[in-house]
Amino acid sequence: MNQSLYSYSLCLSLPLMLFFGFHMLFARTPEKKIFANFLLSRRLMGTALLILAANYATHLILAPRLRDLNATITMNLVTYFVCYWLFSSAMMTLLDNHYITRQRLMRHLGMWLGFSASAGVVLLGISDVRVRSWGTMALAIWLVVYGVFLSVRLLRTYARAVKMIEETHSDDIEAYIRWLSIFTYWAIGFGVSCGLLTFLPDEYVFIWILSSVPFYIYLYCCYQNYMLFHERVERAFQEEIAMLQTGTGYLEEETGDNEAPSYHQEMARRMKKWIDHEGYRKQGITLNELSLQLCTNRTYLSEYINNVYQMSYRDWITGLRIEYAKRIMQEQPQLKVQEIADLSGFLSQSHFIHSFSEKEGCSPARWRKEKPIAHTTN
């Protein structure tokens, strides 16, 4: 093994891991109750990073890989097992305030102890080299399966959160938590790779060390950026949880498969009046707020939008805003993109440009240059 390259890679990675870990564990957050779960999540992540840093320090100071390869690989697998749970728990806490429970903690602690005991049996209780290698490989597969299980659960929770937000909020709050999904897919790839890279031949083992650097830099930057938006996302979650706890809105009227509920006609009349008065231009309007304005139940309103327009509440509101933006771009060509976004009800210019481009296939500026003649001749 190229000991110098191996040591250099550890010397590069270890300070970063220590900095990220201690910063996530002890850095201050706004002194608001709403940041409690963000702080818990970051501390869990910081703990995981410091455990990994301790693993790296052991490799750097004691160099166990030079003396006992199987013991080193087993140590890595045991470390990754507990870190996988800390990682997934930190991410889940951002989506579910009540995810960390005593029962769940004890269950996963028991699983880790069972994994550690199995690793001890493989390492100390098996003398045959070939059998020990197969046992180590089985532990690696167990670790990967455990990591994928945690990741799938996280992705499902993320998908439910996104669906809930799309059905109740007009703004693209999903954009603020999209990094959770991106990071989880990256974590799956990195976690599986760790289980495999630890078996690399000695001359290539530095790849296992260096592969962690971009992964943890991305994680750290995501947490720093998310702190700016956490309050907005958390309030959206809390609003929905409060609505569910009050039991607001249950459809009581049943109709045939092809028969529109009786309230649809009245809802259509109220909706048309609201659209004619351009109520969708109010920034941040939620499904609950709109249901109050229309003097209806938010569940009825959600059902009406989903069935009549065949889209989520957010997509429906976004479509109305984009059509309004297209209209004023023709009527008032002197307006800047930021002004158009504000007048149309978008919270930011970037959100407006992204939504417009997604729906129309081009940016607002390009649409304004290419479409006026075709539209004004109609």
Number of domain units in the chain:
2
Angle at the Cα of 89 from the Cα atoms of 83 and 95, rounded to 5 degrees: 150
Give residue-wise pLDDT tens across range 324-372: 999 999 999 899 999 999 999 998 898 899 999 999 999 998 998 887 5
89 with 205, same domain: the answer is yes
Backbone angles phi, psi at 120, to 5 degrees: -65, -40
218 with 297, same domain: the answer is no
Among 239, 147, 159, CA closest to 193: 147
Q: Looking at the domain assignment, is residue 256 inside a domain?
A: no
Q: Looking at the domain assignment, is residue 78 inside a domain?
A: yes
pLDDT for residue 250: 40
The CA-based dihedral angle spanning residues 296, 301, 303, 305, taken in that order and rounded to the nearest 10 degrees: 150
Query: Which stretches of the chain drop beneath a pLDDT of 70?
Result: 1-3, 192-203, 244-263, 372-378
Among 46, 8, 39, CA closest to 207: 8
Which CATH number fits the domain that encloses residue 324? Answer: 1.10.10.60
pLDDT for residue 39: 95
* Percent of the residues in the chain that have a pLDDT greater than 90, as a whole number: 51
Give residue-wise pLDDT tens across range 243-259: 766 655 444 444 444 44
Give residue-wise pLDDT tens across range 66-88: 788 788 889 989 999 999 999 99
The DSSP symbol for 173 reads T
326 with 224, same domain: the answer is no
Q: Looking at the domain assignment, is residue 251 inside a domain?
A: no
Q: How far is CA 218 from the centre of its chain?
A: 13
Angle at the Cα of 232 from the Cα atoms of 230 and 235, rounded to 5 degrees: 105
The DSSP symbol for 335 reads -
pLDDT for residue 62: 87
165 with 108, same domain: the answer is yes
**Domain of 272, in residue numbers:** 262-376
Are 342 and 281 within 8 A, CB to CB? no
Q: Looking at the domain assignment, is residue 249 inside a domain?
A: no
170 with 225, same domain: the answer is yes
